[in-house]
Structure 1
């Protein structure tokens, strides 16, 4: 994984969001704070609009929310681990414990599709999924993400 796209700073642990909307606010704030997007509100709206198209809840407690609105300055991957499960309308109808979020510049849609595909494929690997769900060591999580 390109260091400009992901670093340990992109990981949030034990976030206390109670709802999907609160989770999206937290993600948008973190993406903005790290300089991947110019506007919290615009990135948040992009996440919400994407979710209206179809759920980003994958399976096994993991979601892949993403936004490619005009506020995105550069591609990024973020891991947000919640301190409890959040209802998400996931494909498997189970709540979400971890979000692997993406910021996608509007001109980078092909890269976005490739990265989404690679993440989805990696999430089929039970060992990878177990690390993402159960590990709170930022070094181990970063190592797992960097293998995408």
Structure 2
């Protein structure tokens, strides 16, 4: 099962800040209430920024009543301030939502995303992709359910 579908890829975010970027991601997930997503994800951001460096952020959270994990990705050509650990703007943000009940899966998927996005070649491919399908395909074999 693909966790990141092309419908959940935004190639040209126009967000002007962290909250706006997360809002764009939440609004792509049409089957989930975006207000609930914002509540969960912003609560996690209060604990510390999910900007992991290299222009990447992985905002995430646990959602009650979510049957399976969900991903959404936004690409921001100019980059947006995300309070990242390296102080650099974020160009690639991947939202991860997982069912409330599954700790192991949450940590496993976060680790897979972080490993994938630590690779400069992957980040370059995401930034240069000319279609949402190409971006989704980059993650198809790299981020999957255990």
Cα 1:139–1:41 change in 2 (3 A) is: closer
Q: Distance in 1 between matches of 2:25 and 2:119?
A: 25
1:108 aligns with 2:74: no
Q: Distance in 1 between matches of 2:120 and 2:21?
A: 25
Q: Distance in 2 between matches of 1:132 and 1:108?
A: 29
Q: Unaligned regions of 5+ residues in structure 1, if any?
A: none
Q: CA deviation at 1:83?
A: 4.2
Counting matched residue pairs gives 142
Q: CA deviation at 1:29?
A: 1.4
Q: CA deviation at 1:109?
A: 2.3
Q: Which moved more, 1:54-63 or 1:126-135?
A: 126-135
TM-score, length of structure 1 as denominator length: 0.87
1:64 aligns with 2:58: yes
Larger RCO: Structure 1 or Structure 2 (Cα < 8 Å, ≥ 6 residues apart)?
A: 2
Does the residue aligned with 2:118 lie in a helix, a strand or coil? Answer: coil
**Cα RMSD over matched residues?**
1.6
What does residue 43 of structure 2 align with? 49
Please show how residues 1-148 of structure 1 align to structure 2 within 5 Å: 2-3=1-2, 5-31=3-29, 33=30, 35=31, 37=32, 39-70=33-64, 72-148=66-142
Does the residue aligned with 2:12 lie in a helix, a strand or coil? Answer: strand
Q: Distance in 1 between matches of 2:65 and 2:20?
A: 19
The Cα offsets for residues 37-67 of structure 1, whole Å up to 9 and x where unpaired, read as 2x21111011111111111101121110112
Q: Unaligned regions of 5+ residues in structure 2, if any?
A: none
Q: CA deviation at 1:71?
A: 5.8
